[in-house]
């Protein structure tokens, strides 16, 4: 059995990184990720890891160093938030196109401007087309479990893609929760050793990384990235099953909470899923068949699975903690609604933007969403396709 501990989200990320013991960690401090890097620095200072830590002068260099390290043949990790992720943008894409399985912790924080340090998903949602696998965590236990699995998923020979593991800034990053840790050895055995087939450091077999790739090959290389993404769901499933044997905790592409008989389903990602679950409990006592589909893996987006779960519902609401300016709704909504387009039965799907810049969302507000779904099911009419929760008018 593992150890039961109380850790904040940031501390959890640092602890699991210690257990994974990456060869290289390159990071730059940014709120609310800072404590992850601080605590990991202590592990380095105390000789508890063999990691070479590169205290870079910017996030741009953090990702650049991770690419150099991973290409060289090392397991490389980093952590960032919001503006930090934005600053490394260009290099985030390059990591994916070089097919380097870097693992990155993204502590979700609202993107500037105006500057704000609290949670929303505008940072990682903005990077949804960068070619990274994205795994959203609800709580500290999931941060722990997701990071361990992320290493295996990204490094799978069929995949070879970088992975972002996200969790909500402050709400989770600075909140102490109970979680179960596995023994160091079990984690290290599970993640195994990173083997780059073409390490830059193999001077006997010189490799050129990052060549100029023009119209005669670029497209094919992009297709390879698309195909690699297509293989990810199966790998996530397999790694999840293996991890379950190790930990007793079940993981797949998403989590279903009371969806089997649900009339009304909410789709949400991150810590809000926990609040939704409480709302569901209370609504069920009132006899309302409420359910939750929690997005764990947003990239690749598990279209088939999501349709399978949602198609039985009477009405669906998608909660987005980020806005997509000028689009028909938030990023998760766009994906969900588009996924359901192929279904024969036209299912009402509405969108709520909430929690931007760290604004709280309450159980009552979530209950209000379910009540609106009830109304839609009763009347067959959607008054407002996209709305906001908790917005001061």
Q: Are 96 and 133 in contact (CB under 8 A)?
A: no
Q: Site for other proteins (CB under 8 A): which residue of 6, 38, 45, 58? A: 58
Count Cβ atoms below 10 Å from residue 285 Cβ, excluding itself: 8
φ/ψ (deg, to 5) at 151 = -60, -45
**Which residue from 364, 382, 357 is spatially nearest to 111, judged by alpha carbons?**
357
How many residues touch other proteins under the rule CB under 8 A: the total is: 43
Decide: is 60 part of the binding site for other proteins (CB under 8 A). Answer: yes
Decide: is 30 part of the binding site for other proteins (CB under 8 A). Answer: no
Q: Are 146 and 108 in contact (CB under 8 A)?
A: no
Identify which of residues 67 and 143 has a Cβ nearer to other proteins in the complex: 67
Decide: is 185 part of the binding site for other proteins (CB under 8 A). Answer: no
Stretch binding other proteins (CB under 8 A), from 128-136, 204-212, 304-312, 341-349: 204-212
Q: Site for other proteins (CB under 8 A): which residue of 52, 180, 263, 387? A: 52
Q: Tell me the C-alpha distance between 10 and 2, whole Å.
A: 20
Q: Site for other proteins (CB under 8 A): which residue of 15, 23, 142, 320? A: 23
Q: Site for other proteins (CB under 8 A): which residue of 45, 115, 201, 382? A: 201
CA dihedral 65, 70, 75, 76 (to 10 degrees): 20
Decide: is 356 part of the binding site for other proteins (CB under 8 A). Answer: no
In this structure, what token pair is assigned to residue 27? 């990071």
Q: How far is the CB of 151 from other proteins (least distance, A)?
A: 16
Q: Site for other proteins (CB under 8 A): which residue of 211, 287, 326, 380? A: 211
Decide: is 227 part of the binding site for other proteins (CB under 8 A). Answer: no
Q: Site for other proteins (CB under 8 A): which residue of 3, 214, 345, 381? A: 214
Q: Tell me the C-alpha distance between 324 and 21, whole Å.
A: 37
Decide: is 20 part of the binding site for other proteins (CB under 8 A). Answer: no
Stretch binding other proteins (CB under 8 A), from 9-17, 54-62, 131-139, 154-162: 54-62
Decide: is 13 part of the binding site for other proteins (CB under 8 A). Answer: no
Stretch binding other proteins (CB under 8 A), from 23-31, 253-261, 289-297, 327-335: 23-31
Decide: is 244 part of the binding site for other proteins (CB under 8 A). Answer: no
Q: Tell me the C-alpha distance between 186 and 366, whole Å.
A: 39
Q: How far is the CB of 45 from other proteins (least distance, A)?
A: 16
Q: Site for other proteins (CB under 8 A): which residue of 6, 192, 210, 248? A: 210
Decide: is 304 part of the binding site for other proteins (CB under 8 A). Answer: no
Q: Are 188 and 21 in contact (CB under 8 A)?
A: yes
- Considering only residues 61 to 100 of the shown chain, the ones binding other proteins according to CB under 8 A are 61-62, 64-74, 76, 90-91, 94
Decide: is 57 part of the binding site for other proteins (CB under 8 A). Answer: yes
In this structure, what token pair is assigned to residue 127? 């990077």
Spatial neighbors of 39 by CB under 8 A, at least 6 apart, are 10, 11, 14, 15
In this structure, what token pair is assigned to residue 293? 């589909």
Listed in order, strand segments (DSSP E) in 214-348 are 254-257, 264-269, 290-295, 297-299, 315-320
Identify which of residues 1 and 214 has a Cβ nearer to other proteins in the complex: 214
CA dist 291 → 258, 262, 360 (Å): 5, 5, 21
Displacement of CA 140 from its chain's centroid (Å): 13
Please identify which residue in the block is written with the tokens 């409990």.
281
Q: How far is the CB of 204 from other proteins (least distance, A)?
A: 8
**Residues at the interface with other proteins (CB under 8 A):** 23-24, 26, 50-52, 54-58, 60-62, 64-74, 76, 90-91, 94, 200-203, 206-214, 217
């Amino acid at each position: 059995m593992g150890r039961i501990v109380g850790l904040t989200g940031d501390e959890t990320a640092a602890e699991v990184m210690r257990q994974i013991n990456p060869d290289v960690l390159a990071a730059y401090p940014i709120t609310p990720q800072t404590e992850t890097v601080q605590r990991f620095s202590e592990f380095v200072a105390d000789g508890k890891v063999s990691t070479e830590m590169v205290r870079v002068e910017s996030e741009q260099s953090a990702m650049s160093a991770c690419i150099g390290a991973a290409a060289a043949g090392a397991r490389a990790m980093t952590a960032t938030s919001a503006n930090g992720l934005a600053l490394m943008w260009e290099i985030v894409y390059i990591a994916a196109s070089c097919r380097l399985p870097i693992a990155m912790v993204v502590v979700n924080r609202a993107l500037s401007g105006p500057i704000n340090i609290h949670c929303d998903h505008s940072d990682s949602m903005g990077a949804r087309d960068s070619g990274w696998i994205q795994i959203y965590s609800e709580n500290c236990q999931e941060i722990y479990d997701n990071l361990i699995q992320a290493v295996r998923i990204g490094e799978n020979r069929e995949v070879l893609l970088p992975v972002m593991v996200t969790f909500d800034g402050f709400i989770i990053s600075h909140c102490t929760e109970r979680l179960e840790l596995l023994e160091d050895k079990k984690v290290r055995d599970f993640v195994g050793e990173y083997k780059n087939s073409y390490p830059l450091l193999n001077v006997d077999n010189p490799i050129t990384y990052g060549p100029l790739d023009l119209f005669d090959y670029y497209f094919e290389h992009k297709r390879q990235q698309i195909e690699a993404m297509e293989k990810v769901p199966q790998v996530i499933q397999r790694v999840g099953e293996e991890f379950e044997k190790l930990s007793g905790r079940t993981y797949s592409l998403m989590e279903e909470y009371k969806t089997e008989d649900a009339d009304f389903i909410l789709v949400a990602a991150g810590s809000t899923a926990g609040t939704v679950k409480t709302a569901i409990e209370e609504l069920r006592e009132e006899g309302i068949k409420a359910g939750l589909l929690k997005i764990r893996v947003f990239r690749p987006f598990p279209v088939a699975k999501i349709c399978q779960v949602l198609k039985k519902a009477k009405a669906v609401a998608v909660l987005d903690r980020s806005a997509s300016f000028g689009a028909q709704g938030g990023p998760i909504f766009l994906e969900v609604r588009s996924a359901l387009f192929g279904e024969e039965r036209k299912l009402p799907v509405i969108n709520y933007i909430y929690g931007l810049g760290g604004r709280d969302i309450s159980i009552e507000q979530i209950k209000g969403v379910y009540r609106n779904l009830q109304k839609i099911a009763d009347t067959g009419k959607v008054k407002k396709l996209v709305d906001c929760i908790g917005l001061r008018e």
